[in-house]
Amino acid sequence: MLSTHDIRRRIRSITSTAQITKAMQMVAASKMRKAQQVALAGHPFVRLLYRMQRAATTRAPEFTHPLLVAREVRRRAVILAGADKGLCGALNSNVFRIAAQFDPQSTVFITAGRRAAQFIAHSGRRLVAEFPYADTPQFAEARAIAAFARDLFLEREVDQVQVVATHFINTLTQQPFSLEYLPVGEIKALKLEGLEPAEELAHVTEFRCEPSVEVLLGYLLSHYLNIYLYQVLLDAKASEQSARMVSMKNATDNAERLIKDLTLEYNKVRQGNITKELLDIAGGQADSA
């Protein structure tokens, strides 16, 4: 059984830890609100842009573009978006578990976030580019990643580009996913965007393009890829802050429960010591009498 001194020392140590986790919870909560608002605000625009892209490319069968050409996949690139820091529960490990399923011999990785780069380095996989992104992701950061991935695909260094990241749903739910980024086509994981395949082609109408189909759709494809990857970064950051807030709240609650249990144990031990001392005093008085 622990002594009262040992129990007091453990209580002080856990109290200090609880203060740290509480402070981290408050910081994550303040960042989480802004990150969630930005991520959720972008979802409708990305869905609309996706519908525009699919409607335009499927209704112009004569249109061809290098970003639409599907090739036999001999070499693949994966854009892996992870968190910059830890202490966010199973968020990183869930994403990295998906990334680990790709064949390391035929896959190269483009990472966003320090934890993603560390995972690739420690697992012995090939990292071709590492991109940082801020607590509030900027469009220029996403555009740089998208441009690098496009160059790899257009120069035939890879035959396919996948995105592995986390889709933000709400504070308690963040869903890891993997989807095909290049060549541009129908997103297989449409449920992540809340879009049904039939919705995009429900109304077929005739349209004209000025100045030409090639110019318009060429611009639309590049812009769509940039914006979609920007939304991926926004979702990743919102997921990170939400997961960290929940994780730190759970850690604080666990510490407070442990402090209560230790305090109860301390009181029991202290009461037992007092009772023992009283019995010793009473026994001594009885012997002297």
For residue range 237-255, what is the model confidence (pLDDT) as tens digits?
999 999 999 999 999 999 9
Lowest-pLDDT choice from 44-53, 112-121, 135-144, 248-257: 44-53
Question: Is the confidence at residue 199, as pLDDT, over 80?
Answer: no
Question: Is the confidence at residue 213, as pLDDT, over 90?
Answer: no
How many angstroms separate the Cα of 197 from the Cα of each of 30, 187, 219? 37, 9, 23
Write the CATH number of the domain with boundaries 43-237: 3.40.1380.10
pLDDT of residue 169: 92
pLDDT of residue 155: 94
Residue 104, SS3? coil
pLDDT of residue 207: 64
Question: Is the confidence at residue 128, as pLDDT, over 90?
Answer: yes
Q: What is the rounded average pLDDT of the residues 19-36?
A: 92
Residue listed under structure tokens 């869903």: 175
Lowest-pLDDT choice from 1-5, 186-190, 285-289: 186-190
Question: Is the confidence at residue 191, as pLDDT, over 60?
Answer: no
pLDDT of residue 68: 86
Query: 281: pLDDT confidence band, cut at 50, 70 and 90?
Result: confident
Q: In the 3-class helix/strand/coil scheme, how is 111-124 assigned residue by residue?
A: EECHHHHHHHHHCC
Exposure letters 179-217 (e unless 16+ CB within 10 A, then b): bbbbbbeebeebebbebeeeebeeeeeeeeeeeebeeeb
The whole-angstrom separation of Cα 240 and Cα 88 is 6
Residue 168 phi, psi (nearest 5): -80, 125
pLDDT of residue 218: 78
pLDDT of residue 288: 64
Contact 28, 241 (CB under 8 A): yes
Stated as kind and residue range, the H or E segment containing 49 is helix 4-58
The whole-angstrom separation of Cα 173 and Cα 106 is 32
For residue range 136-175, what is the model confidence (pLDDT) as tens digits?
999 999 999 999 999 999 999 999 999 999 999 999 999 9
Q: What is the rounded average pLDDT of the residues 113-136?
A: 93
The whole-angstrom separation of Cα 99 and Cα 178 is 8
Residue 63 phi, psi (nearest 5): -75, 130
Stated as kind and residue range, the H or E segment containing 12 is helix 4-58
Residue 48's CB: how many other CB atoms inside 10 A? 11
More reliable by pLDDT, 63 or 100? 100
pLDDT of residue 190: 43
- Which sign does the torsion angle of CA 165, 168, 172, 175 carry? negative
Query: 279: pLDDT confidence band, cut at 50, 70 and 90?
Result: confident
